[in-house]
Structure 1
């Protein structure tokens, strides 16, 4: 018997799992509250061992036929999947805004179009994997990208729709079948995503959704030896635990983790442009892994830069994310609010100085003021650890060498930003150890480009050919150009 559908802003969304093309209820549920005003959205089915088992078995059974279709045969299904996402654009926007506190304007203008593109782009580019040949003097090497099997996808609560489709696109286009575990704190858009897949006619078992907590549902999923791949985006502690479970079964993992990215402002930077971009670091209430949260500013321009940045920050509209004018919304969960507040309080107690913010915001219980801290040491906790809230730090430097040393002075290496005269900024950016870095810009992405971090920010790359390399078993079929004669000579 199914659990009742949830009614969120007049949108009906299933509270149950989606397994083998059908909705499957659980005898256990967990409550779901909106970060906007803490109202109860409803109760969602909790994934038990039986549901993980059902999903994996369904994916296993569906795999041979889905893989046999080839990229050209899978493309019409995935194009229809993208179309069905588009048909549900308004519902997806409203759901994720209510469920995760994401700005409605950001959902409409960026996330939903990107979700459609994630599916459609990878379906198109999977066609390019066919018939690749490397020619040598001795042989023709026919390089195949074969689907790996059953893939587990685990996504975080700060961007559930975008990151789920970012992984599903290449996984499904490659010919794998998938089990998606959405975030416990924001599962609803993934549930509606299953409806879109069903309406698109994806065969039963190709795409499955099992909801639940990481400690319960996630643990059962990632420890299963029948998985061929695990793709995870989330925190470093959870990634270590997933890697241990996967390692026991030698299951390859792609791990996109946290960031503590530098935002470097060189002496020859356009101060106003760098300040306008700097204010963007507060978007999604700072719950963005790739944001530049450590501002490193040349000491000669630091005072002017702080005032320019302050002017932009003071103009930010903080409030209900469903309001099109809002630019900073709530934090996802009461626990996240406490975590952010405790980081700031400890930093101030240890000698940091507040330039602005530093307290909860009066709009609601899960809102925190955009905050900037300075007078910090490189070893300070708030400089070294990811806060994942609207909290930034500011330090100054005297030379490029010192800026690079400070930029590289954490255990993270996801992204970065560097503002300055272009040639100068490029030269500095090239020395900063990250998976990517934006020069005089922020947030420019292309699905063909690699995305991922180094050090504690992750393992592997997503995007373009890098996604296919992960989700495929790459095989070399070697065909000699001359008749082959066996020999016992040493190779």
Structure 2
């Protein structure tokens, strides 16, 4: 077996970069380790500024041909990519679970089918993308979306392929070429996607994948003068660094960042539903940017809510994510585990009371945790933990609930549990969030805008909003006079 090939549960993955339609090795590698058991999954090509320059050059060279490809043909090729994803759905699911520790059952049933849907949705949206012409004093205004150029997409480790394809699909549909830099903790399915894209018939250089550390290859990508768009999902500190890097070239940015989202539970809510919504926040070991990690419960309901929450949380099974019965898998990396535990230890030292969990499990597992007796200005309430750690606070009035909900620097999402439709309208209108769910959670339609307010991000993804970002939107104004008769 080649040194550049890894085999995970019988699935072979090339660990080199994919640049200009070819596999490219680097002088050095980094080790990719499974969070499930600490086993080595592969030695991954460790890119530098050299590979970054090569990938951008390949994307730039391929751009004119791809941009001029008819919409119908681009859409056909994206559907072919979706076909390839569906054909290899089981392989992608197995590899992703091994690489990032998320549940195999979730990958099979929801995540990987959504990856295929991402490509199909934006392929179809491309074909109906239009703005009705309008008149200005007899002049005709025609709006069009022109491809911008090479795009750098930097994606996270918590849902690697799904979150990457939220960006890849609209960027390619718009007529741009792409350089993808996946997170170094979960790079493997990006490599498989490169194979799928090539098999689907995407021309060389249209889709490129480079791997490595942000400090070694990420900066070279985001500061490159030939890059026309940068889209990033991840942490606020990394976003600041990318923004500084992109500033010299005034490269437009789309940033989907962290969250500290609230779940507001009012006394008139369906209590069983509210508890289900709260426990659902442990999904993916709490490693979800949208997670409503701050549970805000009306005082009169708090005792019974807590009792039911504890009972339901106790029924969760934490263990090997490859097993069907498992509800919660491991955290992604020892550094993340240490970070989560540090947050909890400091919270306890500051006076927080542990209601559920509050400690490490075996290996890279952290027990689902609920903390109460926390203050609004405490670190555990204000900062993103990105692990299976929730806090519970109470409120007396609707106004207090809204004040507590909005009192962080984030504004990614919010969830409201109430049985009063008028209350729902009043509260949601005042919440600072890019997405608000009422009596539900994580219902996402790709035609809806998605993104955050405040430190949770810049810009919106989804539907036409994605094309607005990945294109130069042009308005052509045509006069009614001045035409020569060529008849």
- Does residue 458 of structure 1 match 2:447? no
Task: Please give the per-residue CA displacement for 1:261-292, whole angstroms capped at 9, x wherever unaligned.
Answer: 00000111111110011111001000000010
- Pairwise CA distance, 1:70: 2.8
Task: Please give the per-residue CA displacement for 1:471-490, whole angstroms capped at 9, x wherever unaligned.
Answer: 00001111013459xxxxxx
Match of 2:59 in 1: 59
Q: After superposition, where does 1:257-276 map in structure 2 within 5 Å?
A: 257-276=257-276
Match of 2:393 in 1: 395
Q: Equivalent residue of 1:473, what SS?
A: strand
Unaligned runs of 5+ in 1: 485-491
Structure 1 residues 385, 202: CA separation in 2 closer, same or farther (over 3 Å shift)?
Answer: same
Match of 2:358 in 1: 358
Q: Equivalent residue of 1:329, what SS?
A: coil
Match of 1:159 in 2: 159
Match of 1:404 in 2: 402
Q: Which runs of 4+ in 1 moved over 6 A?
A: none
Give me the whole-angstrom Cα distance separating, in 2, the residues matched to 1:130 and 1:281.
38
Q: Equivalent residue of 1:394, what SS?
A: strand
- Pairwise CA distance, 1:132: 4.2
Q: After superposition, where does 1:50-449 map in structure 2 within 5 Å?
A: 50-130=50-130, 132-361=132-361, 364-421=362-419, 422-449=421-448
Task: Please give the per-residue CA displacement for 1:208-267, whole angstroms capped at 9, x wherever unaligned.
Answer: 000011111111111111100000000000000001111111000000000000000011
Give me the whole-angstrom Cα distance separating, in 2, the residues matched to 1:348 and 1:232.
33
Give me the whole-angstrom Cα distance separating, in 2, the residues matched to 1:21 and 1:66.
14
Give me the whole-angstrom Cα distance separating, in 1, the residues matched to 2:396 and 2:299.
6
Q: After superposition, where does 1:5-20 map in structure 2 within 5 Å?
A: 5-20=5-20
- Pairwise CA distance, 1:129: 2.5
Give me the whole-angstrom Cα distance separating, in 1, the residues matched to 2:60 and 2:455.
33
Q: CA RMSD in A?
A: 1.3
Structure 1 residues 2, 245: CA separation in 2 closer, same or farther (over 3 Å shift)?
Answer: farther
Give the structure-2-normalised TM-score: 0.97
Task: Please give the per-residue CA displacement for 1:150-202, whole angstroms capped at 9, x wherever unaligned.
Answer: 00000000011001111011000000000000110000010100010010010
Q: Equivalent residue of 1:225, what SS?
A: coil
Give me the whole-angstrom Cα distance separating, in 2, the residues matched to 1:393 and 1:303.
14
- Does residue 471 of structure 1 match 2:481? no
Task: Please give the per-residue CA displacement for 1:62-112, whole angstroms capped at 9, x wherever unaligned.
Answer: 000100013212111111111011111011000000000011011011111
Unaligned runs of 5+ in 2: none
Match of 1:489 in 2: none
Task: Please give the per-residue CA displacement for 1:276-325, whole angstroms capped at 9, x wherever unaligned.
Answer: 11111001000000010000000000001111111211111111011111
Give me the whole-angstrom Cα distance separating, in 2, the residues matched to 1:215 and 1:274.
42
Give the structure-1-normalised TM-score: 0.97
Q: Equivalent residue of 2:413, what SS?
A: coil
Give me the whole-angstrom Cα distance separating, in 2, the residues matched to 1:237 and 1:79.
36
